[in-house]
Amino acid sequence: MMRGLILAAVLAVALGTDYNATYNASPIWKVFCPNYIYHGRVDSLVNPGNYSGHIHKVFGGNHFSASKQERSFMQVYGITRRSTCTSCSLREVDNSNYWTSDLYYQWPNGSLSLVPNSGLTVYYLSRGGSTGANRTNPNWQPIPRGLRMLAGNTLRRAPDNSSDSKAVSYYCLTDYNVQAPLEQQTFPTKDNFCKNGLRAQVWFPMCWNGKDLDSADHKSHMHYPLNYDNNPQGGDCPNSHPVRIPGIFVEHIYSVDQFPHGDGTRQPFVWSNGDQNGNGFHADFVSAWVPEVMAAAIAHPNCSNDNPLMAFGNRVDQCPPLAPFVKDNYGSNVDCQLSHLMPTTENLG
Ligand SMILES: *[C@@H]1O[C@H](CO)[C@@H](O)[C@H](O)[C@H]1NC(C)=O
Ligand SMILES: *[C@@H]1O[C@H](CO)[C@@H](O)[C@H](O)[C@H]1NC(C)=O
Ligand SMILES: *[C@@H]1O[C@H](CO)[C@@H](O)[C@H](O)[C@H]1NC(C)=O
Ligand SMILES: *[C@@H]1O[C@H](CO)[C@@H](O)[C@H](O)[C@H]1NC(C)=O
Ligand SMILES: *[C@@H]1O[C@H](CO)[C@@H](O)[C@H](O)[C@H]1NC(C)=O
Ligand SMILES: *[C@@H]1O[C@H](CO)[C@@H](O)[C@H](O)[C@H]1NC(C)=O
């Protein structure tokens, strides 16, 4: 009841927001998802009503389900919005679901062990267009109701020059006192021991065609900015996909330090989709944001990288439009369970 009242009050203010207003040049906030709500093969984006070929961990709103092929995007949005809790730090305004693959360690005898992972960190940010007037993001809009998308390609096994390939990167957290290797596109674990874990990261595309909430490949309705390859966080949107939405960047840290590696002999990690190079890393996103609240956040000068109190997006309580929905900045005390039983062996028919 109390939460509903807060949301209603925020909406009453936010609805007055003009989506075409000049937005703040460098908004930033992070959503922390310490715990997953589902671990298995259900994938409502790529395989609605069926199983995916591989296992992943799903974070966010507790109404995640196998879904059904005949459900419209707006029906799924409505169901996901009505989640009664989320496993992430921003409650009520963001009931979105985010998911990524599982990582395994392959022993010399071929057997596999699941690599434990800490929670997901989701960044919402943008550096805007290239220069000048476009730095204030012409035609920038909040993520529309019902949008979903995929970043990365589960079938990719070698880096290529596509933006989608360049969107995936790894950071080997060697030791906080030691110079870490640069971010790279393939697993960096053959030659480096990642003492503090391996961070797998992917950027979602941030230019939308303004019409379609999804597409057959879950990608064509979206596009990366034109000079993305030189500046992954910036660049203008192409005319075909003129609507800029906040850039979503996902980080997932895997505890590879629990397994022997880094002696220069072999790369022992493998994604649940069978990828041993790392280029098949991908993430899925099904939005269940309240766009009016997101619009207010990207317009507010304090929800910005330029505001030191935001601490690079860690202190979402310093962003006035989002602050009422922050119980705890890092989501450490969030307790949320899937609203229904959904074992990996469930009969989805
Ligand atoms: C915002 O821009 C769109 C597209 O250019 C236009 O159709 C709409 O009328 C504008 N809204 C306002 C409030 O100016
Ligand atoms: C589910 O996936 C399996 C394997 O890919 C396929 O054979 C089957 O036809 C799918 N079922 C539906 C209802 O799409
Ligand atoms: C393979 O090696 C691992 C690590 O030494 C061991 O735990 C596991 O039992 C072995 N599996 C088989 C099938 O031998
Ligand atoms: C801003 O972007 C638009 C659309 O891509 C482009 O036509 C315009 O020249 C850009 N303006 C500046 C100052 O870069
Ligand atoms: C990517 O582009 C660079 C520069 O044009 C080229 O040298 C390289 O071979 C390309 N890589 C792939 C995998 O196509
Ligand atoms: C905005 O941030 C500044 C510090 O950068 C702070 O002094 C001010 O109180 C904040 N305003 C609001 C409305 O939170």
Average pLDDT for 107-129: 87
- Our answer on whether the CB atom of 179 is closer than 6 Å to any ligand 3 atom is no
Euclidean distance between the first and final Cα of the chain, in Å? 36
Average pLDDT for 72-90: 92
Average pLDDT for 64-88: 86
Does residue 136 register a pLDDT over 70? Answer: no
Average pLDDT for 292-319: 93
Average pLDDT for 212-237: 83
Instruction: Find the 181 Cα to ligand 5 centroid distance in Å.
Output: 22
Q: For residue 14, what pLDDT is reported?
A: 43
Ligand located closest to 306 CA: 6
Instruction: Find the 18 Cα to ligand 1 centroid distance in Å.
Output: 9
- Our answer on whether the CB atom of 54 is closer than 6 Å to any ligand 2 atom is no
Confidence of residue 303 (pLDDT cuts 50, 70, 90): very high
| C-alpha distances out from residue 77 to 15, 67, 71, 74, Å | 19, 11, 10, 5
Average pLDDT for 250-270: 94
Ranked by mean pLDDT, which of 59-73, 97-111, 225-239 comes out on top?
A: 97-111
- Our answer on whether the CB atom of 302 is closer than 6 Å to any ligand 6 atom is yes
Which of 197, 185, 183 is closest to 157 using CA atoms? 185
Does residue 305 register a pLDDT over 80? Answer: yes
Q: How many CA atoms lie within 13 A of 260 on its CB side?
A: 6
Mean of per-residue pLDDT scores for the chain: 84
Per-position DSSP letters for 274-291, written without gaps between them: S-SSSTT-EEEEE--B-H
Q: Which segment of 129-138, 212-221, 239-248 scores lowest on mean pLDDT?
A: 129-138
And the tokens for 245? 């939405």
Which of 306, 271, 286, 326 is closest to 53 using CA atoms? 271
Q: Which of 302, 315, 322 is the pocket-test mutation for ligand 6 (most atoms within 8 Å of CB)? A: 302
In 227-321, where does DSSP find H-type helix?
A: 291-299
Largest Cα span, the chain? 62
C-beta separation of 319 from 301 below 8 A: no
- Our answer on whether the CB atom of 239 is closer than 6 Å to any ligand 4 atom is no
Does residue 35 register a pLDDT over 50? Answer: yes
Does residue 85 register a pLDDT over 90? Answer: yes
Q: For residue 190, what pLDDT is reported?
A: 92
- Our answer on whether the CB atom of 160 is closer than 6 Å to any ligand 5 atom is yes
Residue with CA nearest ligand 2 atom 12: 50
Instruction: Find the 142 Cα to ligand 1 centroid distance in Å.
Output: 14
Ligand located closest to 24 CA: 6
pLDDT digits (tens, 9 = 90+) for 179-214: 667 888 999 999 999 999 999 999 999 999 999 999
CA 168 from centroid of its chain's CA atoms: 12
Residue with CA nearest ligand 1 atom 9: 20
Distance CA(226)–CA(182), nearest Å, equals 24
Does residue 162 register a pLDDT over 80? Answer: yes
Does residue 259 register a pLDDT over 90? Answer: yes
Report DSSP state, residue 182: P
- Our answer on whether the CB atom of 50 is closer than 6 Å to any ligand 2 atom is yes
Confidence of residue 125 (pLDDT cuts 50, 70, 90): confident
Strand partners, 58: 38, 99
| 3-state DSSP percent of the chain in helix, strand and coil, to 5 | 15, 25, 60
Ligand located closest to 47 CA: 2
Q: Which segment of 1-5, 41-45, 121-125, 189-193 scores lowest on mean pLDDT?
A: 1-5
And the tokens for 239? 């005319």
